[in-house]
Structure 1
Amino acid sequence: MIELSPVITEWLSLIARWVHVTAAMAWIGSSFYFMQTDMKLVPGAHLPEGVQGEAWQVHGGNFWNMVKYTVAPPRMPSVFTWYIWESRVTWLSGFALLIVVYYMQADLFLIDKSVMDLSPAQAAIFSLISLVVLWFIYDGLCRSPLGRHEVALAVIVYVFLVVLAYAFSQVLSGRAAVNQVGAVVGTFMVANAFTVIHPNQRKNVAAMLKGTPADGELVRKARQRSIHNNYLTLPVILLMISNHYPLLYATRYNWLIVAIVLALGPIIRHFFNSRNAGKGSPWWTWMVTAAGMLAILYLSSLGARAEEAPAGSAATFGRAQEIVSTRCSMCHAREPVWPGLAAPGKNIILDDPEMVRRYAALIDMVAVRSNAMPPGNVTEMTTEERQVLRAWLDGRAAGRQESN
C-alpha cells in the first residue's frame, strides 16, 4: 500500500473530514428543510391553480412564502436553484477519507487477522468492490416489481443491510465493518440522488419547458429514492461517527447493534415526519427508541468475545504492565517504534508504570470491554492477556492493593 509521511496523512485526513462534514451538513440540512416544508404546506382557495399548498416562514428577520406546485407552474421559470453538489461532494470527500484512513492504513484499521487474515490490498479491494456491487443489487431491487410496494421493499432492504453488517463483521475489523455499512448506505443515498432523483427532475423540467407534460413515472421513482434517503439519514450519521465509540464497533455483537441503529433511525424520522405533516405526534416512537438504546447498552456490555471465560480473582500490576508494554507501547511510547508514527497515538504514553495506572479506565474501555485496541489486533493480544488486564482492573475497582 502507499505510504506517506504521517504529517501528510494526518493533514489529508483532517482536510477530507472537514470537507466531508461541511458538505454533509449542507446536504442533510437542505433535505430536512424541504421535507419539513413539504409536510407543513397548507392548501387554500386563494392559491393559484396547480398549487398544492403554501407555508409561511420567518427567518433572518424576513417573511418567506414557500409555494409548492403539484407538477409545475403554468409558466416555467428560466432559472432554477438545484441542490446537486452537496451530495456529490459528501460522497467524494467520504471516499477520500476511506482511502486515507482505511485503505492506506489497512493493517491498523481495516484488517483484524483474528477475524480474517487478509493482505492490505485484498481488504481494500473487498471494500471497494462491495460498494459497487451492493449498489447495483439495491438499485435492482428498487427497479424490480418489488419497488411498487413501499413497505415490502423497505423490509427487504433492511434485512439486506443487516445481513451485510454480519457479513462485514466476519471479514473486516470491527471498526471497519461498521464503517463499511455506513459507507454502503451513504453510497446508496448519493447514488439515488445522482442516478435517479436529479436526472428524473431534469428530464421532467426539460420536457415541460418544451410544453410536454411531466412524466408521472419519473416523479414516482424519484420520490421513492427520496423517501429512502430521508429514512436512512439518521442511521448513516451514527454509523459514520462510530469509530469514536469502541463499545459500538469493537464488541462481539456489533452487527446486531448496527441492526438496531438501522431500525431506530427510521422510527425517529417517522415521529418528525408525522408531526410536520400535522398527522399527530406518535410518542410511542420515543419509547421504542429508548428500548432500542437500552438494548444497545446491554449488548455492548457483554464484552469483546463470546469465548472469554471469567478471569481469575486477582492479577499483579507487574503482569498487567508487561502486557501493556508488549502489546501497546510500540505506538504509545515517548518515541514510538511503529512505522509511520511520529508521536504517541492520541498522545497517550504507556511505557511508564504511573501512566499505565493513569489510563487504567481507558485500557478497560478499549482493550477489555472491547477489542478496539490494539487496532486490528496487530500486536496479537491474546484472550488470556485481556483476562489478566480485566482481573487487574477488577482488583483496582474492588480497592485491593496492587502488587508487583
Structure 2
Amino acid sequence: MNLFPDAVEELRLRTREFIRTTVIPNEPAPGERLNPAVRTELRAAAKAAGVFAPHVAKEFGGQGLDIAHWSPVFQEAGYSIIGAVALNCMAPDEGNMHMLELIATPAQVERYLRPLAAGEVRSCFGMTEPHPGAGSDPDALRTTARKVAGGWMIDGEKRFISGAAGAGFCIVMARNDAEDDHLAGATMLLVDMDNPGVRIGREIHAIDRAIDGGHPHVHFEGCFVPDDAVLGKPGEGFRYAQARLAPARLTHCMRWLGLARRAHDIALDRTERRELFGSPMRELGIAQNMLAESVIDIETSDAIITKTAALLAIGERAGSSLSSVAKVHVSDAVFRVIDRSIQLCGGDGVTDRLPLAGYLNEVRPFRIYDGANETHKWAIARRASSNRRREVEQGEPYRADVDAPR
C-alpha cells in the first residue's frame, strides 16, 4: 500500500533508480571525499533525470515536493553516502534553501536562493560557537551584530560551521547589541564569504566526511554588511532558527534512515550467503533477532518521520516538538542498525572491504549536532510535564492509581 500520492511514488522510484545505477558506482573509496568534478557530473545527470533538488520549488529548478512528501525521496537519496550531495538536498544547503524560500526578500531570492538551488554555490549556517557560546543552548549566543550607519557590524567567532570552506555565503546568527533595546534578541544576516571581515579559521577534523567544506572555525572581525543583508526582520532570529531547525533535523533523519536501510540490506545479503555451524546464517536465532530488531528500528523511525513531516506541513506547532522526539529516536536507531549490520558481517564489517564502518562514522555525530540528544530529552520531558499540568488545570483529574488518597 502506497501512503503517498502517485506523483511522489513515481519520483521516489526514479530517485531509487538514479541512486543505484548512477550514483553508487561513483561513490568514493572509504575514507575519501567526493571529487568535485564527479559531483558536478552527478548533479547534471540528476537534473537530466528529473530528480534534482526534490525539496525546492519548481520555479527554482526543483521538483516542488511538499515537506509532507520529502521523506520517501530523501530516504532514497540517503541510500548512498553521496546521494544527497548529487541531488542537492544535503545539509546545510537544504535547510538554508528551505528558510530562504520562507522569508527571503525577492532580491535575496535572486542573489542567494536561485544559485544555491541550482547547485552553483554552497552555503553554511553560522550558529555554533566556542564555549561558552551558543551550542545546544542558543541563548548563549555571543556573536554580536551592532547597528551602524547603512548596515550592521558583526563581530564574533563560530565553530563547527559545516560546509564553510568554499561556501559562497553564510547565514549568520548574531545577538543584537545591547544599545539596540528595541531590537532585543538575535538577527539573521546574509554574509558573503568573500567579505573582508570574514576569515576561515582552524579546521576541525571530525569523523564524518559527507559534507563538503568541512567544519571549520569562522571569524567575523569588523564584518560590515548593508541593511539589505538582514534575513527576515531584525531581532527575530531565534524564531526563524526554530523554523529552520525543526525541518532540518527531520531531513537528517530521512537521509540517515536511507543509509541505515543500505546497511541493513548489506547485512541481509551477508546472512543469505554465509553458513555457520552447518546452517545458513539467516536461520540462526541470534542473527534473526538482530535482523528483526533492525527492521523494527527502521519501521518505527519511518513512522515518526512521516507523522512529524505531516504536522510540519500543516503548520502545527506539535510538529516542531515532535521533531525533537524524531531526532532522538532516529539518531539512536540508525546507529543501532548500522552497528548490528557490522556485527552480522563480522571482520569484514570493520574493514574497508565494506562501507559500513564509514557509515557509522557519518551517523554518530547526529546524536550531537542539531542539539545533543540529552538536550532534546530534557526539552521533551519538560514539555510532557507542562502539558500534563495544563490538562489537570483544565479539569482532568490525576490518575487514581497514582495519587489515590491514603
Q: Which has the larger radius of gyration?
A: 1
TM-score by length of 1: 0.29
TM-score by length of 2: 0.29
**Greater strand share, 1 or 2?**
2
